[in-house]
Amino acid sequence: MLRRRLNRWLGGEERRVDSRTIYVGSRSANEAFIPPKFCDNRIVSSKYTVWNFLPKNLFEQFRRIANFYFLIIFLVQVIVDTPTSPVTSGLPLFFVITVTAIKQGYEDWLRHKADNEVNKYPVTVLEGGRRIRKESEKIKVGDVVEVEEDETFPCDLVLLQSSKEDGTCFVTTASLDGESNHKTHYTVPDIDEDLESLSATVECEQPQPDLYKFVGRMHIDKIQDPTVRSLGPENLLLKGATLKNTQKICGVAVYTGMETKMALNYQGKSQKRSAVEKSINAFLLVYLCILVSKALVCTTLKYVWQSNPGQDEPWYNEKTQKEKDTNFYLKMFTDFLSFMVLFNFIIPVSMYVTVEMQKFLGSYFITWDKDFFDPEIKEGALVNTSDLNEELGQVEYVFTDKTGTLTQNNMEFVECCIDGFQYKYRDANSDLDGICTTDGPVNKVRQKAVEEREELFLRALCLCHTVQVKEPTEQGHSQREEDMVDGLGVDGHLVHPVQEQRGFIASSPDEVALVKGAMRYGFTFMGLESKTMKILNRNNDVETYDLLHVLHFDPVRRRMSVIVRSKSGDILLFCKGADSSIFPRVRPEEVEKIRMHVERNATEGYRTLCVAYKLLSAEEYAQADAGLREARLVLQDREERLMAVYNQVETGMSLIGATAVEDRLQEEAAETMEALQGAGMKVWVLTGDKMETAKSTCYACRLFQKNTELLELTVRTLENGERRREERLYELLREYHKKAVQDAPPNKAGITRSWSSAGQDFGFIIDGATLSMVLNSSSESTSSHYKNLFLQICQNCTSVLCCRMAPLQKAQIVKMVKNSKGCPITLSIGDGANDVSMILEAHVGIGIKGKEGRQAVRNSDYAIPKLKHLKKLLLAHGHLYYVRISHLVQYFFYKNLCFILPQFLYQFFCGYSQQPLYDAAYLTMYNICFTSMPILAYSLLEQHISIEELLDNAALYREIAKNAMLRWGPFLCWTLLGVFHGLLFFFGVRCLFSNPALQDNGQVFGNWSYGTIVFTILVFTVTLKLALDTRHWTWINHFVIWGSLAFYVFFSFFWGGIIWPFLRQQRLYFVFANMLSSVSAWLVIILLILLSLLPEILLVVFRKPRGPHTRQMKHRLPSSGTSTIFMLSQTASTHSFSWSD
């Protein structure tokens, strides 16, 4: 209560709901205040503690339906008198729970260890004029912390003091957003050098995760002149960032511990579920229905059979009094539960553990793949989540960014245009001699712009940016430092010798390209010192400008400006930005002579920026300065107020010219896109660039071909007609729908590019403004109709280009396709922060380790160094993962059906007495030991199609599209195979038992011998079935397959050959050895195994060898469940591993 009142008193009339107040330094004795409480500086990324691990972990595990189901079965076995021991379901459940708990506990222990390293790290805190060393976790909000060079910041600090004279410091935020470039941060003005006497109050927003946003103000209490200073992101040093090229700084802690921006950003992403997991759940429901049906049938038939005279209570099995007194319906329910327990092994609980292990271990194969290693950045692929491996083999739509993904984001200044005259850089020449013909009418007298305009344009390039000049430190380190800033040095022959060893530090490669472009023509940016920018002009004279304000770039405005004061006292505003952002803010008569140049450059695939300036009068500047200062001091709606001032001052400008920067295509970009389309995927390019630039890139990447008819839905096409925009939009949508959907050949609609057919290919182009009209129409019904038409058109085009897109619109597009009919699997790939929203929205998110920072990598499911690696990731790894895990799932259900069907059939021959066919040890060990390792090895190592063939023949990817191997057809095939094998096992052995004497001494076998023979045939058949399915043998496959069979035989001899003291009854004592003494038993075991596998053997013998076309695969994969692949045994020269013998 008091705290809220105090905030109100300090804040005046402004609302302080979302702000916090921090006191810095000592307070006077007569000043009454209650220091607010904030969290300590401990980082807690762990999930469990020693005390809550067991209950919390068990609670989470039993939330899974399968685990909870087996717990209920186990409790039923304990409470009710059931035919099998509780150990049979309890031990597998205990194994599953224990393995999962150990894995999760180990992962959490690693998190605890990492937390302790951070929390116990020693830091320096200034208290009462003394420097005190204490542990990082003991820092409190309001403490003044000292950090030295190359140390990381222990919490979020507002910069108060720097060892640099100009009050700046350099910071790298690689651990936060992956950006290795240096960022410049500034001290709060008017802070005394002696921090002991500092008394101030910081008001700032409550903690929030946006790394690039911070709003606050600082009240500095001075005896003579108390001042208020605004605080922004440039004053905030984030926890996890590292101090560079600055000896030391001091800052006040504003956010600590779990309230720091780093901690808020590391909270988990939403869980993505794969289509395979959904199929597993559907199959589980089917098998659960089978289980309940079996239990109901047996319960019903039991009471029908017992209704016959003498069957209910035979002379050899009289009921006790307690049994006679039991309620009939309760007894019936108990019998139903007993049958449920007897047949419950049809539900494969161990499958979940096997699937988890397969995903976890399988993900390492992507990380280890040497083909994904990039020598330039010395990194390979990265897997952030292993839950989606198989989804890589099911992708139907690929959404890709352009800059940095399809292109290299390695900018090079190509040409510029000044007052309509084109200047193309040819050779190293400090004068502007590279002149080509102009875009407009050529003035024969003057073939280039007047010198005054040239110099004004070049000054704008040198001043309108946020680039920093990197000074060389020592002779031996100069090369290393240049490398650190991406080698963005300067061309020595063009500039002053002093500048030769300098490099540039910038957050965007565009800015460096423009500054280097100006250097080619004689204007060199020398750096910023104490708010003074220095330029070396072509006469080798140094010009100085006072930097008054920077109007930072943002994606909404799409431009940035600086306000500077020259030596003569003139106040100039220089602005650069996208043509769509600049043209409406300059004089109309200046636009036409530049527009043609910009459009031509965009068509050639260059990135273009327009440059404008404005001479501000003293009154205009005073008004803008007051507006900016006032807006920067407010805490509520600061960005909106700043935007209003920016828009006000950036009007009535004069257009000087435009620049063209080339961004080359990524290596093998065209081949990769062609392969993805050949694999049946639709590729959509979502970019913020201009349509002409993006269209040129699409042609270069072969997404658009020469014969592709482009359907354009942009602001330009909407304005062509005389009607209103919305009417014109509807008219175009109907026209394109008729052309691309209604008039398309039946086999063409909805299919990828028909490489061999003569049919027309369509490409679709839409811009952000038109997309907003489609998605946000005036009425809901109209919007839905527009959306459906738009989606149908896009789905029938070979490629779609969406240009001028905001980051949120990218996510909207992905969401719209993801939720469309059929719920197609989507993949988004990008390299920058503006791609994060679409990466998180798609089923699978891929980050590229590019030059726009690592936000995309941090938020992705998988990260690769280059776009070309996407081809192998999807066509090889994705294909293999999907087929392997599909086989694993189907095989698990099949082998459990084979296991339980004989048990069900046995009830018809034992009076429905719930007599188990198998011994308890076999029931327990079947899924855990005897049949688990071969399928795990298969699901990790199998490949029946070579990597080379998968990459060369992209059409193979289509064979497994739309979850082909986990549909109801293949599932039914596997189920029927399981039924066939189960019937053969049971009735085949029953035929054997029709012979009254099976042993040499004339004795007959008992029921446990019957069950053991069935079980032996079962284990050998399901294991050898897997061996027949295996196309790629390694020593690991040999070891686990033959080793599992040998272990079964050894265990059976061992289990039945010893009298175990802890068993009340030993059912299998010498049964296995006795069984093998019978030649008849040997004959039946071998004969039934051969009969069971005969269809598989015939399929292998008569299968034709694979040709270049893969039509056979369609029939082979679902029926026999043939799995595929991985590249573990390719030759070392071409692939990563060699595990085979």
Q: What is the pLDDT of residue 1018?
A: 92
DSSP annotation of 36 reads P
Query: CB–CB of 1009/1071 below 8 Å?
Result: yes
Res 387 pLDDT > 70: yes
Nearest alpha carbon to residue 740 among 766, 771, 761: 761
Q: What are phi and psi of 604, to 5 degrees?
A: -80, -5
Q: How far is CA 566 from CA 82, 524, 548, in A?
A: 94, 17, 11
Distance CA 676, CA 673 (A): 5
Average pLDDT along the chain: 78
Closest CA to 326 of 338, 334, 318, 315: 334
Q: Which residues contact 673 (CB under 8 A, 6 or more apart)?
A: 406, 683, 701, 702, 703
Quick: pLDDT tens for 188-214.
887 877 777 788 888 888 888 777 788
Length of the chain: 1141
Find the angle CA(149)-CA(152)-CA(158) to the nearest 5 degrees: 90
Q: Which of 238-252, 470-484, 606-620, 916-930 has the lowest mean pLDDT?
A: 470-484
Phi, psi angle pair for 1093, to nearest 5°: -95, 0
Strongest mean pLDDT among 162-166, 171-175, 507-511: 162-166
Using DSSP's 3-state secondary structure scheme, residue 412 falls into: strand
413-433 pLDDT, tens digit per residue, is 888 998 888 888 654 343 444
At residue 574, the pLDDT reads 94
d(CA 204, CA 309): 88
Instruction: Find tokens 């959509």 and name the residue.
Output: 684
Above 60 in pLDDT, residue 693? yes
| β-bridge mates for residue 534, sequence order | 527, 544
Give the residue from 423, 402, 419, 486 showing the smallest Cα distance to 660: 423
What the block records as the tokens of 647 is 């828009």
The Cα–Cα gap between 963 and 767 comes to 33
Which tops the pLDDT comparison, 949 or 1056? 949
pTM of the shown model: 0.71
Banded pLDDT at 854 (limits 50, 70, 90): low
Q: How far is the C-alpha of 173 from the C-alpha of 314, rounded, in Å?
A: 83
Instruction: Give buried/exposed letters for 346-357 (b at 16+ CB in 10 A, else e).
Output: bbbbbbbbbbbb
Region of poorest pLDDT, from 64-68, 98-102, 920-924, 1133-1137: 1133-1137
Residue 666's pLDDT band (boundaries 50, 70, 90)? confident
- Name the strand (E) or helix (H) holding 993: helix 968-993
- CA gap 628, 616 in Å, rounded: 15
pLDDT computed for residue 496 by the predictor: 42
Cα angle 848, 852, 856; round to 5: 45
**Which residue spans within 806-871 are E strands per DSSP?**
826-830, 844-848, 862-864
pLDDT band at 562 (very low <50, low <70, confident <90, very high): very high
Q: Give the end-to-end CA distance of the chain in Å, rounded to a whole number.
A: 75
Give the per-residue pLDDT at 835.
Answer: 79
Predicted confidence at residue 234, as pLDDT, reads 85
CA dihedral 1037, 1040, 1041, 1044 (to 10 degrees): 180
- The predicted structure's pLDDT at residue 1062: 65
Kindly give the residue spans of alpha helices, DSSP state H, lying in 372-490: 451-463, 478-484
Of 86-90, 100-104, 423-427, 1120-1124, the poorest mean pLDDT is in: 1120-1124
Alpha-carbon gap, residue 544 to 525, rounded angstroms: 10
Q: How far apart are CA 890 and CA 348, in angstroms?
A: 11
Rg (CA), the chain: 37
Secondary structure (3-state) at 218: strand
pLDDT reading at 222 higher than 70: yes
Closest-CA residue to 406 (of 665, 635, 233)? 665
Is the pLDDT at 15 greater than 50, yes or no?
A: no
> Considering all CA atoms of the chain, what is the largest pairwise distance in Å, rounded to the nearest integer?
127
CA-angle at 934, arms to 928 and 940, nearest 5°: 110
Confidence of residue 492 (pLDDT cuts 50, 70, 90): very low
Report the pLDDT averaged over residues 552-570.
Answer: 83
Q: According to the per-residue pLDDT averaged within each range, which of 127-136, 605-614, 689-698, 1017-1026 is highest?
A: 1017-1026
pLDDT the model gives residue 10: 43
Is the pLDDT confidence value at 289 over 70? Answer: yes
CA 11, 14, 15 angle in degrees (round to 5)? 95
Top-confidence residue, 931 or 1055: 931
Helix, strand, coil percentages for the chain (3-state, nearest 5): 50, 20, 35
Contact 122, 86 (CB under 8 A): no
Instruction: Please give the Cα distance from 646 to 575 (Å, whole number).
Output: 11
The larger pLDDT score, comparing residue 519 to residue 309, is at 519
- pLDDT at residue 311 above 70? no
β-pairing, 844-848 vs 862-864, is parallel
DSSP secondary structure letters along 1086-1120: HHHHHHHHHHHHHHHHHPPPP-SS-HHHHHHHHHH
Instruction: Write down the pLDDT at residue 174.
Output: 63
Q: Which residue has the higher pLDDT, 878 or 603?
A: 878
Count of CB atoms situated within 10 Å of the CB of 75? 13
pLDDT at 977 over 70: yes
- Which range (229-233, 364-368, 439-443) has the least confidence? 439-443
Active-site amino acid positions: 401
What pLDDT digit, counting tens, does each position of 1049-1106 carry?
A: 888 888 776 766 666 666 677 777 777 777 778 888 889 999 989 988 887 787 665 5
Copy the structure tokens of residue 985. 């096992």
> Does residue 120 surpass a pLDDT of 80?
yes
In angstroms, the CA 214 to CA 19 distance is: 11
The residues, ordered by sequence, that sit 6+ positions from 869 with a Cβ below 8 Å of its Cβ are: 371, 372, 381
Amino acid at 274: S
Q: For helices 588-603 and 691-700, give the axis angle rounded to 10 degrees.
A: 10
pLDDT surpassing 90 at residue 1039: yes
Instruction: Give the type of residue at 1056.
Output: G
> Residue 592 pLDDT more than 70?
yes
Q: Assign 561 to helix, strand or coil.
A: strand
Q: What is the DSSP letter of 653?
A: B
Where are the strands (E) in 392-467, listed by range? 397-400, 407-418, 421-424
Looking at mean pLDDT, say which of 458-467, 528-537, 827-836 comes out highest.
458-467
Which pLDDT value is given to residue 748?
43
Residue 404 DSSP code: T
12 pLDDT tier (thresholds 50, 70, 90): very low
Band the pLDDT of 476: cuts 50, 70, 90: very low
